[in-house]
Amino acid sequence: GWGQGGGKLPFRAIAPVERTADVVTVPSGYDWAPIIRWGDPLFKNAPDFSLTRQSAAAQAGQFGYNNDYLNILADRGNARSGVLVANHEYTNEEIMFDPAWYAENTDEARRIAMAAHGFTVVEVKRRKAGQKWEYIRGGKRNRRITATTPFAVDGPAAGSELLRTKADPRGRRILGTLNNCAGGTTPWGTIISGEENFNQYFEGTGSATDARYGIAAEPSERGWEKVDPRFSARNEGFENEANRFGWIVEIDPQDPTSTPVKHTALGRFKHEGANIRIAADGRVVAYSGDDERFDYVYKFISKKKYRPGNRPHNMTLLSEGDLYVARFTGDSPAAEVDGSGGLPEDGNFDGTGAWLPLVVDGVSKVAGMSVEEVLVYTRLAGDKVGATKMDRPEDVEPNPVTGKVYIALTNNTNRGVGSNAGPDEANPRSRNRDGHVIELTERRHDAASLTFGWSILLVAGDPAKSESAYFAGFPRDKVSPISCPDNLAFDSRGNLWISTDGQPGTIGYCDALHKVDLTGPQRGRVRQFLAVPAGAETCGPVIHDRDDSVFVAVQHPGEGGTFAEPLSLFPDYVPARGREKRGQAFAPRPSVVQVYRTDAGRRGRHGKGSA
């Protein structure tokens, strides 16, 4: 069945996998293996993972929890070495810790959780191109960034009064990064990542701005304010600490001594991530979504231009520029967009749009808000200029082959409910459970244009059960069911790959990775490539089709279960009775997985992977 005329990564779509199945499922002719797992030691002096002997010191030298954004960067001129970069979005204390131990060691557990956030950079090697990567314990570029690592702040809001605290009276040095979700790799080889649901880590002030960001004036669930006073605005001098999160961060994975940066020029919101395209005139454009129901899609345009090969210069590009927010206008009568998801008479959910200015040439374009206020309270700026309220914008990713921009709107079950915004042509379903994907075409295909056209590529769902599921006109009975699109990626030919977050709760199947054709008669054809285990979300897809490999970050395997009754034992699949032996407890471990081609029919050492 490989046929298909020389394309790499040929596969037959797998069947969707029932949501309780604790297996990784890959197509026939492929196998999978973990490259690195939660707790694997990065440094020579870091201890081996032990579920029953965890400590914050150990975790700070080990791979963190809940890997999300991922990339594998091969070294220039050498296909056998490189670095793997992953971020660690959050922690699942209910699965990580024995409840009896947690009750006695709660503060240490909080410090472990803080050390399990952030980033890992780790060197990898392989015997030859196309084979499986292995991580190198003690690699020279290995690094952990955690909730306490110092970051520099740059851009127009650096030093602002809104960012100052008792511990940082200059407002230019922030400890840690939190809830890093998706991200991107810049053309100059750095990693950018979004601080997403940072609100949950803080006890807030009760102010209106805190409320707009979901920061509650009550103790946080994780209770970090009990071990570090900066996490509560009730502690004098730390009223602004939450303003220091919600940014795009940039790290240099080649230099473990470099100081990572928070870029205030890109605004503060629940950044899913950011992805870059170089405009016709050489300026760089960063697209970013704010993952909240009824929040916005943004883009940043740098002041300075990209200079190929000049890394120090290019690392300043995200420090200064203009910020815009998207308004989508449909071209069909509003009455034809009734919330059912049925297509309007012109046959498309489509229209035009504009990038509305927030900050241009260092000047605020928002009435009554200074530049610093626009950048720190960007959501309020978007409210004021009339940006379009979207169904939870996740990845916003330009196609490197065509320049078209794809926006994953993961879902919004509040659309059209009560006093919330009703359906519009860009968000056409009321109670949008399954989400959709917009294809945006910048005017003249120039990323720096301030107007665009758009159409909905996919209205997600299980076509066997959802009348509104729509696949760019491709026959509904010839696609894989898909729900809750989240992370986007492209292969070398510009095919779109979509990973999902939430399918178990909507269409009843384990989260998945799908390939979607974008051109020709197959446009809109969705084919499922893999499924992750029970409770897990598919993150960070990386498609190395020239290398016959796909990489995914398997996040929160077994979520929904408990330490005593895990839903998953991914990726090691130790028998349940092994858990009973003292000192040999096992839990699911978030891991980076490589999927690679095998000789047809061969089963790899991780036999469960070929189910």
- Binding-site ranges for Ca ion (CB under 5 A): 181-182, 331-332, 344, 346, 348, 350, 486, 501
Taking the CB of residue 605, how many other CB atoms lie within 10 A of it?
A: 7
**Residue 337 in the binding site for ligand FEO (CB under 6 A):** no
> Minimum distance between the CB of residue 551 and ligand FEO, rounded to whole angstroms?
18
- In Å, what is the CA distance from 242 to each residue of 213, 232, 597? 10, 9, 45
Between CA 269 and CA 290 the distance in angstroms is 6
> Minimum distance between the CB of residue 106 and Ca ion, rounded to whole angstroms?
28
**Residue 272 in the binding site for ligand FEO (CB under 6 A):** yes
Interface residue with ligand FEO among 31, 203, 291, 545 (CB under 6 A) is: 291
> Minimum distance between the CB of residue 398 and ligand FEO, rounded to whole angstroms?
18
Cβ closest to ligand FEO, residue 228 vs residue 272: 272
The distance in angstroms from the start CA to the end CA of the chain is: 18
Rg of the Cα atoms in the chain: 23
Distance, CA of 352 to chain centre: 27
Strand partners, 437: 408, 458
332 binds, among Ca ion, ligand FEO, none (CB under 5 to 8 A by kind): Ca ion
> Minimum distance between the CB of residue 172 and ligand FEO, rounded to whole angstroms?
27
Between CA 105 and CA 53 the distance in angstroms is 12
* Structure-block tokens of residue 88: 């660690």
- In Å, what is the CA distance from 553 to each residue of 67, 96, 188, 499, 610? 6, 18, 23, 10, 18
Q: Where are the beta strands (DSSP E) in 361-494?
A: 363-364, 390-391, 393-398, 405-409, 436-442, 451-459, 470-471, 485-490
Cβ closest to Ca ion, residue 178 vs residue 182: 182
Cβ closest to ligand FEO, residue 106 vs residue 414: 414
Cβ closest to ligand FEO, residue 65 vs residue 133: 65
**Residue 154 in the binding site for ligand FEO (CB under 6 A):** no
> Minimum distance between the CB of residue 89 and ligand FEO, rounded to whole angstroms?
6
Taking the CB of residue 212, how many other CB atoms lie within 10 A of it?
A: 16
Between CA 456 and CA 355 the distance in angstroms is 18
Q: 316-332 burial, b if ≥16 CB within 10 A, otherwise e? A: ebbbbbbbbbbbbebeb
> Minimum distance between the CB of residue 48 and ligand FEO, rounded to whole angstroms?
29
Cβ closest to ligand FEO, residue 89 vs residue 168: 89
350 binds, among Ca ion, ligand FEO, none (CB under 5 to 8 A by kind): Ca ion
Cβ closest to ligand FEO, residue 234 vs residue 293: 293
**Residue 295 in the binding site for ligand FEO (CB under 6 A):** no
Q: What is the DSSP string of 260-274?
A: PEEEGGG--S-B---
Cβ closest to ligand FEO, residue 290 vs residue 517: 290
**Residue 407 in the binding site for ligand FEO (CB under 6 A):** no
Site for ligand FEO in 80-99 (CB under 6 A): 89
3-state SS assignment for residue 53: coil
Interface residue with ligand FEO among 168, 196, 547, 559 (CB under 6 A) is: 196
Number of residues that bind ligand FEO (CB under 6 A): 7
> Minimum distance between the CB of residue 435 and Ca ion, rounded to whole angstroms?
10
Site for ligand FEO in 485-514 (CB under 6 A): 486
Asked if 220 and 433 count as a contact pair (C-beta separation under 8 A), the reply is: no
Cβ closest to ligand FEO, residue 389 vs residue 527: 389
Cβ closest to Ca ion, residue 332 vs residue 378: 332
Cβ closest to Ca ion, residue 332 vs residue 412: 332
**Residue 181 in the binding site for ligand FEO (CB under 6 A):** yes
The count of C-alpha atoms lying within 13 angstroms of the C-alpha of 185, restricted to the half-sphere facing its C-beta, is 19
Between CA 270 and CA 291 the distance in angstroms is 6
Residue whose C-alpha is closest to residue 346's, from 227, 428, 280 = 428
346 binds, among ligand FEO, Ca ion, none (CB under 5 to 8 A by kind): Ca ion
Cβ closest to Ca ion, residue 16 vs residue 330: 330
Strand partners, 263: 154, 248
Q: Where are the beta strands (DSSP E) in 45-190?
A: 67-75, 78-88, 118-125, 134-135, 143-145, 150-154, 173-175, 180-185
**Residue 394 in the binding site for ligand FEO (CB under 6 A):** yes
> Minimum distance between the CB of residue 450 and ligand FEO, rounded to whole angstroms?
26
> Minimum distance between the CB of residue 393 and ligand FEO, rounded to whole angstroms?
9
> Minimum distance between the CB of residue 581 and Ca ion, rounded to whole angstroms?
36
> Minimum distance between the CB of residue 200 and ligand FEO, rounded to whole angstroms?
12
196 binds, among ligand FEO, Ca ion, none (CB under 5 to 8 A by kind): ligand FEO
Residues within the interface to ligand FEO (CB under 6 A) = 89, 181, 196, 272, 291, 394, 486
